[in-house]
Structure 1
Amino acid sequence: MLPDPLPLTRRVVTGHDGEGRSIIEHDGQSPALLTVEGRPGFRNHNIWRTLGADASAEAADTILDHRGVLPPPGGTVLRVIDFPPRPADLAERRRQAASSLETLFADAVHLSASEHPGMHRTRTVDYAIVLHGEITAILDAAETDLRAGDILIQRGTNHAWENQTNAMARVAFILVDAS
């Protein structure tokens, strides 16, 4: 049985009114909340993206147009992912990992089935910030447990994420294109 889901992520976006004063343009749930039918409890909240290295403070909100895991060329993407506890059964774990990778992250390089089922690689520098719970970062030759407040810098390496606890975990990811 899955633990209760975490509250939805609140996204607050600022901007300017017609007179140039700072205002709140959006305050509420991200319009780009994605789930995976084959992985109960897994939620991907796409929050914001920039379209290039010269990000504009006046750029429109284009997060609804975002597809896949990778940021736009030269750009960034901010997402928050809720990770349910891993299934105890290895076959089910593989099925759920494959389902989420195929459904949401088809543009990542997926590694052999002999590796961890969620193992993938992106040409990005990622800032992974644990917001709630605990998550294990799995690499080719190492793994480390991360807790709320910990930050991992992922630099284009093979990696996977696994919640090895009985509670939900939430991680914010900022992906910066490094191609």
Structure 2
Amino acid sequence: MPPIRRVLTADDAEGRSFIAEDGASPAVRVVPERPGYRVTNLWRTAGGSAVDAPDSIAAHQGVSPPEGGTVLRIIDFPPEPADPKELERMLQATFGSMYRDAQHQPRPGEHPGMHRTRTVDYALMLEGELVAILDRQETVLRAGDVLIQRGTNHAWANRSGRPARIAFVLVDARAAA
């Protein structure tokens, strides 16, 4: 899939708007053990950020946004391998290298990508299709579909045989009472 173009606006000293950046994000991550999987972190905010806060996305680590903040990312999912052991190896590498802050402890019989975060996620399917897997059911998302993930145990699977692209806005949240 082609790289994501990030266009960043700003105001100059006179308060006139302009394009401050136009190009690739400085925060693109890949997992060598999972060819085709690419995470493009695009922007993040800290709690109460000013509209002109400096770009801090290159410093972002993990899956979760800063406390009280948000993170915007686009993920390219390659098709899942047919071999379950290969899938498990790829997902262990992904969570181990990129998402150590996720609660990734799949139980026997679960999809090996099952995890939980303390976030509300707006997932916007851009291209292709993914399966959103929950504890009790799953659903196929296609381009134009939106899923709101509210701190639930979940995983993503690409069973389509073609690459898929999805955008996520993660919003820091408190754990359920």
TM superposition score normalised by structure 1:
0.95
Q: Percent identity?
A: 58
8 Å CA contact retained: 2:106, 2:115: no
Q: Are 1:120 and 2:120 an aligned pair?
A: no
CA distance in structure 1 between the partners assigned to 2:99 and 2:105 by the alignment: 13
Helix, strand or coil at the partner of 1:100: helix
8 Å CA contact retained: 2:64, 2:71: yes
Q: Are 1:59 and 2:50 an aligned pair?
A: no
Kindly state the Cα deviation for residue 113 of structure 1 after the two structures are TM-superposed: 4.7
Per-residue CA shift, 1:109-163, capped at 9, x if unaligned? 0123522111000000000000010000000001000000000000000000010
Amino acid at match of 2:136: A
CA distance in structure 2 between the partners assigned to 1:134 and 1:88 by the alignment: 17
Match of 2:152 in 1: 157
CA distance in structure 1 between the partners assigned to 2:14 and 2:66 by the alignment: 31
Kindly state the Cα deviation for residue 55 of structure 1 after the two structures are TM-superposed: 2.6
Q: How does 1:1-179 map to 2 (within 5 A)?
A: 6-52=1-47, 54-114=48-108, 115-179=110-174
Per-residue CA shift, 1:8-29, capped at 9, x if unaligned? 0000110011111000011101
Amino acid at match of 2:86: E
Amino acid at match of 2:160: T
Helix, strand or coil at the partner of 1:93: helix
Helix, strand or coil at the partner of 1:40: coil
Unaligned runs of 5+ in 2: none
TM superposition score normalised by structure 2:
0.96
Match of 1:3 in 2: none
Helix, strand or coil at the partner of 1:119: coil
Amino acid at match of 1:127: Y
Unaligned runs of 5+ in 1: 1-5
Helix, strand or coil at the partner of 1:102: helix
Helix, strand or coil at the partner of 1:117: coil
CA distance in structure 1 between the partners assigned to 2:107 and 2:24 by the alignment: 35
Q: How many residues align?
A: 173
Helix, strand or coil at the partner of 2:72: strand
